[in-house]
Structure 1
Amino acid sequence: MKNPPDFLTQAYDPLDPNPWLALYLDQSTPLPDHVKQAWLADSCSVSRQFLLPFVRPLARTCIVLIQVVKAFLPRRWAASRLLHWLLAEGLKRLVSPEANWLVMRHFHLGGQILEFIAKNAPTPVATAPLQPLRLDDLKDDFFLKHDLNLFNFVIRLNQALRAAGQQLHPVVQPDFSMVQEPPLALAHFPHGRLNKIDLQTAIECFTPIYQLFLTDNDFWRAANSLQLDETVGIYVATILNTPQHLILLNNKHPLVPLSTLRAGHRLVVHGLSTEMLHALLMQMKSAQAAEAPPAPASPTPR
């Protein structure tokens, strides 16, 4: 981060405690300090405080209007390439470096979590991880592919389990080899004069654009992929035998689809849930490594 956020540099005043400092210091949730700092710096920005309250109702109104307009368009009309070009260029030119860093991390973390489940499942399951390194990489339909990957993984995993007459079960020594910090540096993302839009405001702006340039089926599927947070969380909790960690998931029951009007807010919650689940896996990987017996010494040559 270019400069520490204000809540880390201002003197602590017990008569006027900074709520962002309290959230940063709190350790009740599994989130590493560098991620929490970027998340809170973005959350306490001027953009989120003053722009988001105006953008959110306008964006939701646009979702309703676009739904009406698309009723008169061909069912399969879409422009995915143009959509992803607009999203990538918008991120590069207008969105804060912290928000861009978090967006790019999300692709890596989501892929690692699915691979963790696949590696620890009793039956082999193919995965297709997305690992973008530059914002321009997103132009290759990455947002759409991310949604497809999630549904395809759930289908393939459960097809394989059903065919083998198996279920996910706790694993004594889980394989954490794929869980690692993504090779993305916050300093490498655009820090231009216009890169001020926070993550939540950007997502609210991009949601109706996403709806406009995709088919109704693709947009509905993307919105309802957020309902699978609980599903993926249950898979991981089953492997780790830690059901208590499901308490932070709140995108509601996967069998009860929600309105697309709140897709922007739910996407932010989805991103934070992914960060916390990945942080939990990183903690358990470190604990497992600390408990591992030392490797036997090589015999001394005579």
Structure 2
Amino acid sequence: MDPIPDFLSKPHDPQDPNPWRALYLDRSTPLPDEVKQAWLTDSSSSSRQYLLPFLRPLARLTIVLIQVVKTFLPRKWSHSGLLHRILVWGLKRFVSPQANWLILRHFHLGSQVLAFIAANSPTSVPTTPLTPMNLDELRDHTFVKHDLNLFNFVIRLNQALRDNHQEIGPPERVDFSMIQPVPLALEDMPQGPLNKVDLQSAIELFTPLYQLLLTDNDFWRAANSLQLDETIGIYAAKILQAPEHLILVNNGHPLVPMSTLRAGYRLVLHGLSTEMLHSLLHQMKQAQALQESAPVANEPLDPCSVDSQA
């Protein structure tokens, strides 16, 4: 796999500027270069250009048909174990290295963000981190657990705040200790001849399967967990006193459920929002460490203390 994508390796042509190069060089969004390069390499792939436009309407039509079929199935119809085995099989054999890397990173980043909010809240809230180190570890119902963790965290946090008559606000010193680099390497992802499917196409393809092999309640909850992006963003903004960083969080108002037909697209927004929030927290952690390690300027002597010593 060439580590340098075409939009960076080819020289800039002012008469035909590369849009992906422009997005990579742009620094208006807080993303590390390696993440932005992987994201744009995946987004500029032939799979996304030629496969996604055909796959997306077919996937949404399949969601509608499955909803009709499931009206005749038992309400408790669920095969989460089979779902995760199929997902892992598909990810390992068909999905691009960049997409697999971003998917695995997402569980680590989400766990760290929730731990950040819990540590800086005025009340103690337990978290259940998910840190899969390879695709095989996703078989342990990781996708479903991710949704459950998010809702359980919001419920536990706000119940504790209500019980103690407290509100989230800026702590005396923000704790960034849980914000760490993710120990996953892009080079370790499967790179077989068929690993070409981009992230958005893979999500659109897997969403109907997710609906088919889970109960309606589980699928609806998973789809609507994406609308908690604003909620998590508001928590972080209150802690950091930085509401301007919410501008790129746009999965919809949490009190207005959206159609599950757009779950695939919204899931991509969810992943990107998490990447940007984690990157922002990492930058602020570095700034805090730099400020605290800076030498303190010598303060002027108090004349009174000099006279008393004399």
TM-score (norm 2): 0.94
Unaligned runs of at least 5 residues, structure 2: 297-310
Amino acid of the residue matched to residue 25 of structure 2? L
Aligned to 2:21: 21
SS of equivalent to 1:292: helix
Q: Which residue of 2 aligns with 1:117?
A: 117
Identify the residue that residue 91 of structure 1 maps to in structure 2. Answer: 91
Identity %: 69
Q: Secondary structure at the match of 2:247?
A: helix
Question: How does the TM-score come out when normalised to structure 1?
Answer: 0.97
How far apart, in 2, do the equivalents of 1:191 and 1:156 lie? 41
Identify if the C-alpha distance between structure 1 residues 177 and 17 changes in structure 2 by more than 3 Å, giving closer, same or farther: same
Please state how far the C-alpha of 1:123 moved relative to its aligned partner: 0.4
> Equivalences for 1:71-86 in 2 at 5 Å?
71-86=71-86
| Alignment partners' CA distance in 1, 2:2 and 2:187 | 7
Q: Partner letter of residue 165 of structure 2?
A: G
- The equivalent of 1:239 in structure 2 is 239
Where do 5+ consecutive residues of structure 1 fail to align? 297-302
Q: Which amino acid aligns with 1:171?
A: P
C-alpha change, 1:162 and 1:57, in structure 2 (3 Å) is: same
Q: CA deviation at 1:58?
A: 0.2
Cross-structure match for 1:36: 36
The whole-number CA distance in structure 2 between the counterparts of 1:293 and 1:220 is 48
Please list the CA deviations of residues 206-253 of structure 1 after superposition, one character each: whole Å capped at 9, or x if unmatched: 000000000000000000000000000000000000000010011110
The aligned length equals: 296
- Aligned 1:176-187 pairs, distance under 5 A: 176-187=176-187
For each residue in 1:92-137, what CA deviation from the matched residue of structure 2 results, as whole angstroms up to 9, or x when unmatched? 0000000000000000000000000000000000000000001000
Partner amino acid, structure 1, of 2:251: N
Residue 172 of structure 1 and its aligned partner are, at CA, apart by 3.9
Hey, what's the Cα distance between the residues in 2 that align with 1:295 and 1:222? 49
- 1:40 is paired with a residue whose SS is helix
How far does residue 152 in structure 1 lie from its aligned partner after superposition?
Answer: 0.1
Equivalent in the alignment of 2:301? none
The Cα offsets for residues 260-301 of structure 1, whole Å up to 9 and x where unpaired, read as: 0000000000000000000000000000000013699xxxxx
Amino acid across the alignment from 2:249: L
Structure 1 stretches of at least 4 aligned residues deviating more than 2 Å after TM superposition: 293-296
Task: State how far apart, in whole Å, the 2-side matches of 1:18 and 1:39 are.
Answer: 15
